[in-house]
Amino acid sequence: MSDNTFITQVMDGLKDQGVLMMPDGFIDQLITTLHANVTAINTMTQIAEIENKMLAISGSLPIGSRQVESLKELSTRIAEIAFNVEDVRDEQR
């Protein structure tokens, strides 16, 4: 069983039992915070890409493309979490 399948089963079980109810204000703040993190990470990604271009032009230091890919992956995962939290909020309402 994959981690995602297990997490989905646990979340569904908690929702079915009514345990997963969270105050709307908390969920709204969590969603806002997650989206703000995605925005900040996307900005860091853009900065890293510019830095990589500058380093490539100067040829003095190795390019950190792994850093850019890691930031993009992190941004994607946080966005997925935010959308999942939004789904939970919508189901509660």
Half-sphere exposure of 16 (CA within 13 A, CB side): 6
Whole-angstrom distance, CA of residue 36 vs CA of residue 46: 15
User: Taking a C-beta distance cutoff of 8 angstroms, is the pair 45, 76 a contact?
Assistant: no
Mean pLDDT across the chain, nearest whole number?
A: 81
pLDDT at 63 over 70: no
- Calculate mean pLDDT across residues 30-52: 91
User: Taking a C-beta distance cutoff of 8 angstroms, is the pair 88, 18 a contact?
Assistant: no
Per-residue pLDDT tens over the stretch 44-61? 999 988 888 887 777 666
Task: Kindly write down the DSSP assignment for every residue of 66-92, as one continuous string.
Answer: HHHHHHHHHHHHHHHHHHHHHHHHHHH
Per-residue pLDDT tens over the stretch 72-93? 999 999 999 988 888 877 876 6
pLDDT confidence of residue 77: 92
